Amino acid sequence: MSENKVALVTGAGQGIGRGIALKLASDGFDIAIADLPAQESKATDVIAEIEALGRRAIFVGADVSKKDDVVEAVGRAAAELGSFDVMVNNAGIAQVKPIEEVTEEELDTIFRINVNSVVWGIQAAAAKFTELGKKGRIISAASIASVKGFPILGAYSASKFAVRGLTHVASQELAPKGITVNAYAPGIVGTGMWDEIDKRLSEINGKPIGENLKENVESISLGRIETPEDVAGVVSFFAGPNAEYVTGQTLLVDGGMLYS
């Protein structure tokens, strides 16, 4: 049996997750894409891109807010691709809303998708690594909003602070098994998420569509919007041989917005 390496990336039907899936495939990983069933046709395109790189890939329909779905996705990745080495808890949503207006349902929704999913991902991956005797890597999506709370992104900021906290805790609890746990903290990445944030900000502050995004990008030291490939480079590092001694970290990859 060949010694192939397998990574599961949640939310890899588009955006940052797609970029991570392609980068890890070019690093030599076979890839399981776990995304909502509605994303299957986009994921099929990503699978074709991965296969063009000479790797194997599968799609698993999953709602990451549900523990059973995440356990099932990890199980299928390992069974169908023949190993399990890296878990990327990437899927997430934004909410643009003043803190005074956030509803009980909205708060539940964003925490289920952005936070509970990370707990399920850590649990499912750690169990599979233990079963297979692997020193696996767990890598989760934080954000600049995990380091600084951003106005009108209150629930989102809180959910990403939670990802950073879970990364601290899980890295210490899983270290005796040789499993590392890290997170990436992007800034402003040109994906569907920022299209939505820009639209909602326009509704709130009346600025024309695109203006809020433009103003935010102007605050980036390196002077350009971030790409999924910028983020994927950091995930590749966390998943690769040079990060063997790195754990519990949340790495800002924001082109120079926040300084830790």
Ligand X SMILES: NC(=O)c1ccc[n+]([C@@H]2O[C@H](COP(=O)([O-])OP(=O)(O)OC[C@H]3O[C@@H](n4cnc5c(N)ncnc54)[C@H](O)[C@@H]3O)[C@@H](O)[C@H]2O)c1
- The piece of 5-13, 49-57, 76-84, 126-134 that touches ligand X (CB under 6 A) is 5-13
The answer to whether the CB of 60 falls within 8 A of the CB of 10 is no
Instruction: Tell me which of 60, 83, 90, 183 binds ligand X, using CB under 6 A.
Output: 90
Between 64 and 122, name the residue whose CB sits nearer to ligand X.
64
Q: What are phi and psi of 253, to 5 degrees?
A: -130, 80
Alpha-carbon distance 72 to 9, whole Å?
14
* Minimal distance, residue 176 CB to ligand X, in Å: 28
Instruction: Tell me which of 6, 7, 9, 13 binds ligand X, using CB under 6 A.
Output: 13
Beta strand pairing status for 86-89 and 29-35? unpaired
The answer to whether the CB of 72 falls within 8 A of the CB of 60 is yes
Active site residue 156: yes
Could you say which residues in the range 163-192 bind ligand X, by CB under 6 A? Answer: 186, 188-189, 191-192
Does 211 help bind ligand X (rule: CB under 6 A)? no
Does 78 help bind ligand X (rule: CB under 6 A)? no
Instruction: Tell me which of 21, 78, 91, 125 binds ligand X, using CB under 6 A.
Output: 91
Instruction: Tell me which of 40, 75, 93, 102 binds ligand X, using CB under 6 A.
Output: 93
Between 17 and 136, name the residue whose CB sits nearer to ligand X.
17
- The piece of 6-14, 48-56, 72-80, 164-172 that touches ligand X (CB under 6 A) is 6-14
Q: Which residues bind ligand X (CB under 6 A)?
A: 10-11, 13-17, 35-36, 39, 62-65, 90-93, 113, 141, 143, 186, 188-189, 191-194
